A and B are shown apart, each in its own frame.
Chain A
Amino acid sequence: MGPVGTETARAYSRRELLQLTASLAAMGITTSLTPEAIFGQARTDLKGVTIDYWNMVGVQNKTVRRLSEAIVTAFERRTGATVNTTWDSYGSIIGPKYRTSFKGGIRPTVFDASGRWTGQLRRFLRPLNDFMEGSWDAESREGTAWLIPLVKRQNQGYADRDQIYDLPFGLVPQAPVLTRRDHWEKAGIDWERDWPPRDSDHFLELLGQLREGAGVRYPTEVYGKIWDAGDTQLNGWVRSLDIETSGFINADWSRCNCDSPAWREAVQFYVDLFRKYKFSSPNSPQSTDEDAVELLIRGRKSLIHADILNRGTLLERMPDELRDGLFQWAPHFPISGGTSGSQTFLAFVTFHIVKQEGPDAALKEAAAWEFVKEWFRPENMIAYSKSAGLCARRDLWPQLMGSPDGYAEAVTRMVVNPGVWANHPKSVDIQYNLFAPHLQQAMQGAPVEKELRNYTREVNEALRA
């Protein structure tokens, strides 16, 4: 007996498929894996075609993983193609795995990732423009058309920026405000008047009242851990002060923006929430929004920023309270008020098709595109929204509205004019590896200006190299 295949292309029995759909249905989720797909006569347009799919989105939670399996299976049943799924994790694209295997020649046919991390792999990818224009149903194309300028902006440092290599299917606006209403009642704050926070002063005022009135010692949290320091609420605050310099690097990717006055002011506010006002716990230099959500659930935080991936935790842990409207979401607020609640950064969950070689290259690429399309079917888009975030198709958003916690209302208001992080080949280095130590040092008392200056110098060196 040789090594057993791990998790690829399981031949599911119909019973197992029914179990899979039933377990999703129990969470109120339906996918394109319908009874017709399970019992109907499988079509055979793509019979004999095998594609390799590297899945990363499944790592977000168990539901997304099940959802991925359902969509893969539905696609197989519908087309006769075979999909070899590899379950992978963010560490693989942030770390060495993807780029090493891509360089060595081990590549999937199609994979999902986050649009800001794939610059390093760009040369291996196939532009999707022709597929999107020539072989896509009008609803999907029109529903996602609004994103295309953002994708182009994310890639504006590349000569071929008009080619779309990353197709967003999930959206993670960074990062909405999340609170629990009972703390507001306890603190005697007028919900109608004061929700949601309007600007930094209002935020501080609310935190002060919550600390006094609700007895929560550290009512909010700013995040310092390497993965959350540079991509949660901080960036939106910079953007609300100055759109021009809000990205880590400038428009033509020639230098770092982070010594700008907007960065200094926003980082100072971020650090002050912790050091000066002590509204954020001493754990701040290493804290994460996942931890903060856990503390919020336990009533030990009142008003935090958390990306919508955390809604899965609330659904799992506090379904009743969620239904009763105890938890409420609101858009991220601009630091000095003014315009709107939309001055945020938008992270994408994206699909990518890898350039194929050999005689059946075109067929495989086409099959990969059919697979991507499967994810954009309305039922799958909505299922994804329910379990992990906001779906890319704007035409489907109305169907998400009206849940008692108001998450869809909050996050859809955040994507009016969002920023996107540059998909520079060194984006992981710039946004996490180099940034976190400096922010953490500022959180430990080093002058913000000095840390930002040093960080800017390091990024400029990395950009030149």
Chain B
Amino acid sequence: MQASEERWLIVAFLLPTVAFMLLLLWYPFLQGVWMSLHRWPFMGDPEWRGLGNYTAFVNAEYFWVALQSTLIYSLSTVFQLAIALVAALVLKQRFIRWRTLWRGVMLVAYAMPPVVVGAFWLFLLDPGLGMVTHYLIGWGILEEPIYWFSDGSWAKWIITFVATWTFWPFMFLILLSALQAIPDSHYELAEVYGANLWQRFRHVTLPHLWSALLVVIILRLAFNLAKIDQPFQLTGGGPGYETSILSVLVYRFAFMSGDFGMAFTVGIFLVVFTLVLILPFAWLFQRQFRPGH
């Protein structure tokens, strides 16, 4: 009796989630894997290519450039984490006045549409007209403007920087939440034992923060690598292919070339790339839930 009721509940509760997952995500995705084995124009008939798209992509002149810039772009997650962690640690302090207000203020970058934030940084960083160059030269830090967007070695870092500025608050609000949940008594105890600032962070804060840290790293790695609109708007993938991160290539193939076979091919590289970066963290996260931990 009990058992059958439970079974019904399991089925009924799983249904929406699983139906959603199959229809909206796995079905089109698997279809995409199939498409990646074809030349698949937007309007017109597909043509079987086997692994032709994959070899074409690996042999393309921009393949390694794209991987390298994707890797740099994914470092944005690290920068976001660093800022978010500092911000969370600071805004957890009770003695800070108007904490609630400051916490809200931290969120503003994330509360604006990323396309707008991208355009705004384009405006601020413009080498000829923007505020940043104006001050860097005015204060004597630079003699010459830096051509952030047109110098290949800078452009990768600039899109990474803008992504960091835009998306760190997401990490901040989760990390701060985790910090706030640590009972004061833990710190008091640590103080009784004479722990210094670092020791308290290492032995009290970090263990409590661990799972939240893994959550934000995994989520942001996935979200950051899927970002298209903002990096594309900042540099259009250039100069050359210097900022053609995988997701931008996906966009270019899918929507500008209308070649869905290639777009999904690059998309699958992106999935594998993301998976490789995420797996270690996912493994650490999973380990916490083992019995006895």
Contacts and interface: CB of A to CB of B under 8 A. Distances in A.
A224 B129 contact: no
Contacts of A285: 150, 238-240
B78 to A, nearest CB: 26
B237 interface: yes
Interface stretch (A193-201, A348-356, A373-381, A439-447): A439-447
A465 B150 CA distance: 32
Interface string B154-165: 010000000000
A149 interface: no
Nearest to B232: A226
Given A282-B147, A437-B241, A96 B254 contact: yes
A94 B151 CA distance: 26
A116 interface: no
B61 A454 contact: yes
B150 A282 contact: yes
Nearest to A103: B43
Given A95-B255, A437-B238, A437-B241, A283 B39 contact: no
A433 interface: yes
Interface in A433-465: 433-434, 436-437, 440-441, 443-444, 446, 454, 462, 465
A295 interface: yes
B114 interface: no
Given A99-B42, A283-B149, A440 B238 contact: yes
B127 interface: yes
Nearest to B41: A465
Interface stretch (A232-240, A286-294, A357-365): A286-294
Nearest to B229: A91
Contact of A444 (B41, B62, B152): B152
A195 B192 CA distance: 84
A291 B238 contact: no
B257 interface: yes
A151 to B, nearest CB: 22
Interface string B13-57: 000000000000000000000000001011100000000000000
B257 A286 contact: no
Contacts of A428: 256
Contacts of B129: 291, 294-295, 298
A126 interface: no
A281 B150 CA distance: 10
A437 B41 contact: no
* Majority DSSP secondary structure for residues of B touching A: loop
Nearest to B236: A226
A300 interface: yes
A270 to B, nearest CB: 15
A225 interface: yes
Of residues A103, A123, A283, which shows the largest number of chain B Cβ atoms within 10 Å of its Cβ? A283
A295 B244 CA distance: 28
Nearest to A281: B128
A145 to B, nearest CB: 33
Nearest to B241: A437
B236 A444 contact: no
B257 A426 contact: yes
Interface in A62-110: 94-96, 99, 103
Contacts, number: 96
B252 interface: yes
Interface in B140-184: 145, 147, 149-152, 155
A446 B255 CA distance: 27
Interface size class of B (residues with CB under 8 A): 20 to 34
A286 B242 CA distance: 12
B235 interface: yes
Contact of A224 (B39, B238, B259): B238
Contacts of A99: 42-43, 258
B150 to A, nearest CB: 4
Interface in B207-257: 235-241, 244, 252, 254-257
A166 B128 CA distance: 39
Given A224-B150, A428-B256, A432-B256, A283 B127 contact: yes
B264 to A, nearest CB: 14
Contacts of A287: 150
Contacts of B240: 285, 437, 440-441, 444, 446
Contacts of A286: 147, 149-150, 155, 235-236, 238-239
A436 B238 contact: yes
A253 interface: no
Given A291-B129, A295-B128, A428-B256, A282 B151 contact: yes
Nearest to A295: B128
B128 A462 contact: no
A283 B254 CA distance: 29
B244 to A, nearest CB: 8
Interface string A123-157: 10000000000000000000000000000000000
Contacts of B254: 96
A203 interface: no
Contact of A283 (B61, B150, B259): B150
A160 interface: no
Nearest to B244: A437
Contacts of A225: 236, 238
Contacts of A462: 257
Contacts of A295: 128-129
Contacts of A103: 42-43
A63 to B, nearest CB: 21
B290 to A, nearest CB: 45
B275 to A, nearest CB: 26
A205 interface: no
Contact of A282 (B126, B127, B235, B241): B127
Interface in A265-310: 281-287, 291, 294-295, 298, 300
A294 B256 CA distance: 29
Given A96-B254, A285-B238, 7 more contacts: A120-B43, A226-B238, A282-B127, A283-B128, A291-B128, A429-B257, A437-B238
27 contacts: A95-B256, A99-B43, A103-B42, A120-B42, A120-B43, A120-B258, A226-B236, A281-B147, A282-B151, A285-B239, A285-B240, A286-B150, A286-B238, A286-B239, A287-B150, A294-B128, A295-B129, A298-B129, A426-B257, A428-B256, A432-B256, A433-B252, A437-B239, A437-B240, A444-B152, A444-B240, A446-B240
A-B interface, 4 closest residue pairs, ranked by CB to CB distance from nearest? A226-B236, A433-B256, A285-B239, A286-B150
